[in-house]
């Protein structure tokens, strides 16, 4: 879990060092980090590869990369989201490497989340710089935005892997703009795609249904699988889609996704998802928490409108070739 804060005074003091906003953080950021770490959590901070952050009320880190990285390290920050506003018009390929180098020299391991909105195809160059990179513009809390970003992110699947991840932006689950089934689809596809699972709703007012979605350990386990291969769209028939990807121990994760307006049956054939045609598998439904044993050749399910079914398929030992 990441607690993210936008926390500095503006403009910068004469020293050039970022200073915690005293009215919000009277004990300073290091004390906040100590408290967060005592809860088993990690502290994330936000800055920008420009002269100001996107709020236009806080200083960015452009020209202060080394100084700010050392400050973040001294505060024991664990995660940096690095945005792209007020960037003076220069390429992110020129600006982001400076912060990457500064973080590596800071003396602390800090997760570097690049956010240049996918403008210059960061999947092709950011893996050498950071730990995640935005492949898209900002997400909005509606079905059209979520599905569009899923598609945009999907085409970069081959560039992701352990230590570096495609990021189609944070989760909107629980913010109220989509139905429960749409949010279930959102969380399932983001998990399959190994996207960073950053909760975007207010934890203090989270409804029980939201908590149930976001705390599904079986779905989260797909996202966190040690093989680290991004699942992707493998079959499309109009609004009916099959997404799948390999997991560790010869397993396969599968999402049957209905993007249409009425309930339909969706089928994933073993040939669609990389399994031997004669393989026998146990199919674990990650949302129903139930298992179909010894399934062969294909997996079918009735899927309501804008909903999905998500499975982990475990081949029987004598089916593995």
What's the confidence (pLDDT) of residue 7?
A: 56
Q: Quick one: pLDDT band at residue 1, thresholds 50, 70, 90? A: very low
What's the confidence (pLDDT) of residue 10?
A: 60
| Sheet with strand 2-5: strands edge to edge | 2-5, 42-48, 79-83, 111-114, 132-134, 165-167
Q: Across the chain, what does the average pLDDT equal?
A: 95
Q: What confidence tens digit (pLDDT) does each residue in 5-58 have?
A: 555 556 687 888 999 989 999 999 999 999 999 999 999 999 999 999 999 889
Q: What confidence tens digit (pLDDT) does each residue in 136-177 have?
A: 999 999 999 999 999 999 999 999 999 999 999 999 999 999
CATH 3.20.20.70 residue ranges in the chain? 29-224
- Asked if residue 64 has pLDDT above 70, the reply is yes
**Beta bridge mates, 276:** none
Nearest to 135, CA basis, from 148, 152, 147: 152
Instruction: State mean pLDDT over 212-218.
Output: 98
Q: What confidence tens digit (pLDDT) does each residue in 239-273 have?
A: 999 999 999 999 999 999 999 999 999 999 999 99
Q: What confidence tens digit (pLDDT) does each residue in 95-122 have?
A: 999 999 999 999 999 999 999 999 999 9
CA 132 to CA 110: how far, in whole Å?
12
**Is 138 an active-site residue?**
yes
**Is 34 an active-site residue?**
no
> Which of the following is catalytic: 48, 68, 83, 169?
83
CA 293 to CA 312: how far, in whole Å?
12
Instruction: State mean pLDDT over 127-138.
Output: 98
What's the confidence (pLDDT) of residue 273?
A: 97
Instruction: State mean pLDDT over 71-96.
Output: 97
Q: What confidence tens digit (pLDDT) does each residue in 270-298 have?
A: 999 999 999 999 999 999 999 999 999 99
- In 116-263, the DSSP E strands lie at 132-134, 165-167, 232-237, 240-246, 252-258
The dotted CATH code for 232-315 is: 2.60.40.1180
CATH 2.60.40.1180 residue ranges in the chain? 232-315
What's the confidence (pLDDT) of residue 321?
A: 58
b/e sequence 187-196, b meaning 16+ C-beta within 10 Å: bbbbbbbbbb
Q: Which region, left, alpha or beta, applies to residue 121 given φ > 0 means left and ψ of -120 to 50 means alpha?
A: left
What's the confidence (pLDDT) of residue 226?
A: 98
**CATH match of 29-224 with 3.40.640.10:** no
């Amino acid at each position: 879990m990441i607690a993210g804060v936008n926390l500095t005074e503006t403009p910068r003091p004469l020293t050039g060092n970022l200073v915690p906003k005293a009215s919000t953080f009277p004990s300073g950021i290091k004390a906040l980090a100590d408290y967060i770490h005592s809860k088993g959590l990690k502290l994330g901070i936000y800055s920008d590869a420009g002269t100001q952050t996107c709020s236009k009320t806080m200083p960015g880190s452009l020209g202060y990369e080394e100084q700010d990285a050392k400050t973040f390290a001294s505060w024991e920050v664990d995660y940096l989201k690095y945005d792209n506003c007020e960037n003076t018009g220069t390429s992110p390929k020129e600006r982001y490497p400076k912060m990457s180098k500064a973080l590596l020299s800071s003396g602390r391991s800090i997760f570097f989340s690049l956010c240049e909105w996918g403008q210059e195809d960061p999947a092709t160059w950011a893996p050498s710089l950071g730990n995640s990179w935005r492949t898209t513009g900002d997400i909005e809390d509606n079905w059209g935005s979520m599905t569009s970003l899923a598609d945009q992110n999907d085409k970069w699947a081959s560039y992701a892997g352990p230590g570096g991840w495609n990021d189609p932006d944070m989760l909107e689950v629980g913010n109220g703009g989509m139905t429960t089934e749409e949010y279930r689809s959102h969380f399932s596809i983001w998990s399959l795609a190994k996207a960073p699972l950053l909760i975007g709703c207010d934890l203090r007012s989270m409804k029980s249904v939201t908590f149930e979605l976001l705390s599904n350990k079986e779905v989260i386990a797909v996202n966190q699988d040690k093989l680290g291969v991004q699942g992707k769209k493998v079959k499309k028939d109009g609004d009916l889609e099959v997404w799948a990807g390999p997991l560790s121990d010869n397993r396969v994760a599968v999402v049957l996704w209905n993007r249409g307006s009425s309930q339909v049956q969706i089928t994933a054939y073993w040939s669609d998802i990389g399994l031997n045609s004669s393989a026998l598998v146990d199919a674990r439904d990650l949302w129903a928490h139930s298992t179909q044993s010894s399934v062969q050749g294909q997996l079918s399910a009735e899927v309501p409108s804008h909903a999905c079914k998500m499975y982990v398929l475990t081949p029987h030992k004598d089916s593995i070739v």
